[in-house]
Amino acid sequence: MPRNLYRYTIIAALGGLLFGFDTAVINGALPFFRDFFQLNKTMEGWAVSSAIVGCIIGAIAIGKPADLYGRRYMLKIMAILFLVSAIGTGLAPNISIFIIFRIIGGIAVGGASVLSPMYISEIAPAAYRGRLTITFQLALVVGILVAFATDLALIATGPNNWRWMFISEAIPATSFLGLLFFVNQSPRWLVKMGRFEEAKDVLRQLVGAETSNQLLEEIKHSIDKEVVDHIRFLFKKPYLRLVIIGFLVGMFNQFTGIAVVMIYSSDIFRAAGFGTNSAILQTVIVGFTNLTFTLIAMTVIDKIGRKVMLLTGSIGMSIFLGLFSCIFFYNIGGFAPLVVMILFVACFAFSQGAVVWVLFSEMFPNNIRARGSSIGSFSHWIFYALLLFLFPVVQKSFKTNEGIGYVFAFFAVVTFISYFFFKKYIIETKGKSLEKLESETLSTAKNN
């Protein structure tokens, strides 16, 4: 594999690391800035969730600029927003300024969730595209762990420790911005812009001189300038079907309940009867499980394929989500909650956790990839926000822990339904060029 391909992939994947860092760093800082700003419960919730508003805006708004100015250029803008957010939240004199900069950081997260995996998929040869695009998810998981470690390292730095926690994000953000000057534009975007010689040079660096000419011609033939320039084609055949599928993929991804597990796991373990220290320790174990099975998925995705992983994961997650609901219905204690949650997270990390961002970057044709990926990511974030808001509401509506049981029973049913959705509507993308995939997906869409 060409050295440039590795370098470009790792640099683009740093967008995922910042995604994970930005969303997780607030966990350790929360008790300290809550006391500093003397927040009530309502303002505390808004301070934490305000970034999600930015994520939704960033995800849905990034598609058109990515087509106009290129993936690399917009990644630079996201890096700047990460940097501005890190410094702004760290230096915020009041909660209003703090929230404004959290929203700016959220916009960067939403934008990066579209741009980084899309850029990687557009530079990667078909044989390696799966494992290279998963690098984004791997970086995201690493970013979460780095944020937790940074919070722990800075906790003893005095009354302004929470400021240093947020400002620390400036280091990876600055590194990301600087390194982006050493990668080329996406060859597929260059073809869209009619810059064929530049595209050919980039392809030569990425796939070698022997296949670059043929691939360049395939990309040229896949581009329809009118479709690229007008959003109305997203809502017409054959593209509308793909847009709806992408939206539903994002929905099913969140209805596994993974966001609830990752954000509220400590509360869930406490509800299951564990002490606070034990609950936090088990949350860390869940995080390492996520990382471990993401690494495993990375090694096999280009061998067994995306669809097989999605189907296998859907069955596994359905089983363990159902068992987890039973734990709360029948008050089963001991280590059962931890074991079942670890098995659920393992199934998620191996399947949807690894595959969804790859799928968003592959399933849409060259003409609509940026906007289609944007809609898929928007769906991911809008349902993420909805579930994080509704979970504590549902939980508190029951006097016992049955509320948690009903929530996870719902997740189990929807995840089981997703098996049939993936089986019918997802085309296997393993080992196929983006242009060959485009031909298959458009042919299917036209006939349905």
| DSSP secondary structure letters along 372-411 | HHHHHHHHHHHHHHHHHHHHHHHHHTSSSTHHHHHHHHHH
Q: Find the mean pLDDT for residues 328-343.
A: 85
Which CATH architecture describes the domain 1-183?
A: Up-down Bundle (1.20)
Using the Cα atoms of residue 133, residue 135, residue 138 and residue 140 in order, give the sign of their dihedral.
Answer: negative
**Which tokens sit at 392?**
């504590």
| For helices 71-91 and 95-123, angle between their N-to-C axes, nearest 10 degrees | 160
Q: Find the mean pLDDT for residues 249-271.
A: 80
The Cα 427–Cα 283 span in angstroms is: 35
Q: Find the mean pLDDT for residues 201-229.
A: 77
**Which tokens sit at 207?**
């796939």
How high does pLDDT run on average in the chain?
Answer: 86
Q: Find the mean pLDDT for residues 215-236.
A: 72
Better-predicted residue by pLDDT, 18 or 388? 18
65 to 118, 192, 196, 198, 360: CA distances (angstroms): 14, 13, 20, 20, 18
Q: How many Cα atoms within 13 Å fall on the side-chain side of residue 222?
A: 26
The Cα 365–Cα 369 span in angstroms is: 5
Q: Binning pLDDT at 50, 70 and 90, where does residue 159 land?
A: confident
Q: Find the mean pLDDT for residues 264-282.
A: 65
Q: Find the mean pLDDT for residues 75-81.
A: 97
Domain ranges in the chain? 1-183, 231-448
**pLDDT-above-70 percentage for the chain:** 90
- Which ranges in 223-368 belong to alpha helices (H)? 225-229, 239-254, 258-271, 276-304, 306-329, 336-350, 352-362
Q: Dump pLDDT digits (tens) for 351-381.
A: 999 899 888 888 888 778 888 889 999 999 9
**Does the pLDDT at position 430 exceed 90?**
no
Q: Find the mean pLDDT for residues 234-244.
A: 83
8 A C-beta contact, residue 308 and residue 427: no
Q: Binning pLDDT at 50, 70 and 90, where does residue 85 land?
A: very high
Q: Dump pLDDT digits (tens) for 337-355.
A: 889 989 999 999 999 998 9
Would 1-183 and 231-448 be classified into the same CATH topology? yes
**Does the pLDDT at position 266 exceed 80?**
no
At residue 258, the pLDDT reads 87
Other C-beta atoms within 10 Å of 96: how many? 10
Give yes or no for a cis peptide into 125 (omega within 30° of 0): no
Residue with the two structure tokens 């997270």: 345
**Does the pLDDT at position 276 exceed 60?**
no
| For helices 402-425 and 258-271, angle between their N-to-C axes, nearest 10 degrees | 160
Better-predicted residue by pLDDT, 400 or 335? 335
Radius of gyration of the chain (CA): 22
Q: Find the mean pLDDT for residues 411-434.
A: 91
Q: Find the mean pLDDT for residues 235-248.
A: 86
Please give the CATH topology (third level) of the domain spanning 231-448.
Growth Hormone; Chain: A; (1.20.1250)
Q: Which residues contact 388 (CB under 8 A, 6 or more apart)?
A: 49, 52, 259, 260, 263
Better-predicted residue by pLDDT, 4 or 244? 244
Residue with the two structure tokens 């899309």: 118
Q: Which DSSP category does 289 fall into?
A: H
First to last CA, the chain: 38
**Does the pLDDT at position 117 exceed 80?**
yes
8 A C-beta contact, residue 58 and residue 111: yes
At residue 419, the pLDDT reads 97
Better-predicted residue by pLDDT, 154 or 419? 419
Q: Find the mean pLDDT for residues 49-77.
A: 92
Q: Find the mean pLDDT for residues 390-415.
A: 81
Other C-beta atoms within 10 Å of 65: how many? 17
The Cα 211–Cα 190 span in angstroms is: 17
The Cα 407–Cα 397 span in angstroms is: 12
Q: How many Cα atoms within 13 Å fall on the side-chain side of residue 398?
A: 15
**Does the pLDDT at position 225 exceed 70?**
no
At residue 279, the pLDDT reads 61
Mean pLDDT highest for which of 141-150, 154-163, 312-321, 324-333?
312-321
Other C-beta atoms within 10 Å of 30: how many? 17
